[in-house]
Structure 1
Amino acid sequence: MLMLTVTPAQAITYGRRDGNRHPNVGALVAEYVEPGQKDLLCSGTLISKRDFVTASHCTVFLPSVGVDPDEVWITFDPTFDENSPLIPATYHTNPRYGHDSADLADVAVVVTDRPVSGRTPARLPRLHLLDRLAADNGLHGQDFTAVGYGVQERQVGGGRPSFPDAMERFFAVSEFRALTKTWLRLSQNPATGEGGTCYGDSGGPNFIGAGADETDIVVAVTVTGDAVCRATNTDYRLDTPSARSFLGRFVELP
């Protein structure tokens, strides 16, 4: 999740272990901390047999730490460790990322070297899907499911507050809060039974619906939120003309 500075990571708060519930959600892996050491970088979602959508703030800094576009991997292992299967891939940062404060263009695509087998890709939303739902009052009370790897909710007591990092895929349910031209904002207040994202779930999916009503449509990717991960999950929409103009370079759009 992106806060004031870019600190790619993965996280779900007040959620549940995913197991094989979302097999098309994976993690971007790179040697960005130390050479030869493969670390989780961000979450993302398979949207075709070779295309994996994530956030541009997860990839834009990689050249500055010596990671070339073709020096990353994708894993779909529910728990990441040194034995996790890795698929070589190449990242593509959105060239418009960060150039317009009104639209950060915070979406990236990672293309695997070979087709991913045994996993059904998630679907992208149709143009202006969320706007149409909002116009029909269809977003009021609507749940969304976030998925990602890593740290969980903040732990307090017995020392400094900390965010445990399990390096495991989790999911959580958040409720609609607000919609702007580029952002989907979700409530993740644990006091009302909601969960959500934290440091960082960056690039991870937000599927429309939850439980029996959950769909395979990833309507937004996680980008930012509040500092203690108890209030708001802010996500970059994928149903806008801007997002679709970039994604359309890689996949056929609905």
Structure 2
Amino acid sequence: MIVAAFLMGAATPATAITNGSADGNAHPEVGALVAEKAHPDGTWTYCTGTLVSPTVFLTAAHCGKPKQKTAQVTFAAQYEPGATLYTGRYVPDPRFREESEFHDMAVVMFSKPIPGIKPAQLPELGMLDRLKADNELKTARFTPVGYGSLAPTKKARERQFHYTDQRNKASISFKALSRRWLDLSVKSAQDGSTCFGDSGGPNFLGGPDSHLLVATSISGADDDCKGTNYDYRLDTTTARRFLGKFLTLP
């Protein structure tokens, strides 16, 4: 679905950082899924994810193909052919269905710990609900990180998406919280957004130095990658039911 974004014009599963900046080494735990062969534009990455334990990489289920068994992951800030790749077992949430965005999670399980990278921190159960009850979410900042497309342009009435295989980050504002979803919105000139290729990537609670992963990028409200982002909460019972199969949760 994300690879098709090179050509498509319909708004669905999300995807790259617009109005952001290069992440460099700020979030080395954020990596990308790497294709078996280059895309038509010469780039290789197609979805984003986060190392959440030394052997577990969290991404989105819609990034995988039917009956996919393995996936290749890079943690390079700028992927180039020849960079280190880690291959692991690809396991989507069995509750996920393509016609629905519920349970849109998958993990890549590595046989050995990834060296030299500290995993992201996961939230406690109901953390976002407590922050909302305390009226702290309204002014909260979030930091999405991903390898997706930069701001799309239009040519002959068609959107052109620009991929660089680079890890980027942005800052974005809170909009709403529901039972499964964290909605984040571009409210000011300082805000950035996710775009095609950022699917499965992290939304960290806090500024650019935060490593507290509270939701993963799933969908966006528009194909210009400037609207509301719909992100899957990781502090819910249903999300933890899947993640708890693979790692110890806080």
Shorter-chain TM band: 0.7 to 0.9
Supply the AA of the counterpart residue of 1:69. Answer: K
Supply the AA of the counterpart residue of 1:80. Answer: Y
For 1:203, which of 177, 200, 204 is the aligned residue? 200
* C-alpha contact (below 8 Å) 1:27/1:41 kept by paired residues: yes
What is the identity percentage for the equivalent residue pairs of Structure 1 and Structure 2?
42
Query: Structure 1: 5+ residue runs without aligned partners?
Result: none
Deviation, 1:192, is 2.9
Supply the AA of the counterpart residue of 2:217. Answer: T
Which residues of 2 match residues 1-254 of structure 1 at below 5 A? 11-31=16-36, 39-59=44-64, 61-63=65-67, 68-70=68-70, 72-98=71-97, 104-156=102-154, 160-189=158-187, 191-211=188-208, 214-225=209-220, 226-254=222-250
* C-alpha contact (below 8 Å) 1:144/1:175 kept by paired residues: yes
Query: How far apart, in 2, do the equivalents of 1:97 and 1:130 lie?
Result: 23
Supply the AA of the counterpart residue of 1:253. Answer: L
Supply the AA of the counterpart residue of 1:144. Answer: F
* C-alpha contact (below 8 Å) 2:47/2:148 kept by paired residues: no
Deviation, 1:7, is 6.7
Aligned in 2, Cα 1:30/1:166: closer, same or farther, shift over 3 Å?
A: closer
Aligned in 2, Cα 1:82/1:45: closer, same or farther, shift over 3 Å?
A: same
Deviation, 1:5, is 7.8
Aligned in 2, Cα 1:7/1:236: closer, same or farther, shift over 3 Å?
A: closer
* C-alpha contact (below 8 Å) 2:183/2:231 kept by paired residues: yes
Query: How far apart, in 2, do the equivalents of 1:81 and 1:62 lie?
Result: 27
- With structure 1 as the length reference, what TM-score do the two structures score? 0.86
Give the root-mean-square deviation of aligned CA atoms: 2.6
Query: How far apart, in 1, do the equivalents of 2:203 and 2:137 lie?
Result: 14
- With structure 2 as the length reference, what TM-score do the two structures score? 0.87
SS of 1:134 mapped into structure 2: helix
Number of aligned positions between the proteins = 241
Query: Structure 2: 5+ residue runs without aligned partners?
Result: none
SS of 2:165 mapped into structure 1: strand
Deviation, 1:163, is 2.1
Query: How far apart, in 2, do the equivalents of 1:49 and 1:172 lie?
Result: 25
Aligned in 2, Cα 1:249/1:141: closer, same or farther, shift over 3 Å?
A: same
Deviation, 1:159, is 8.0
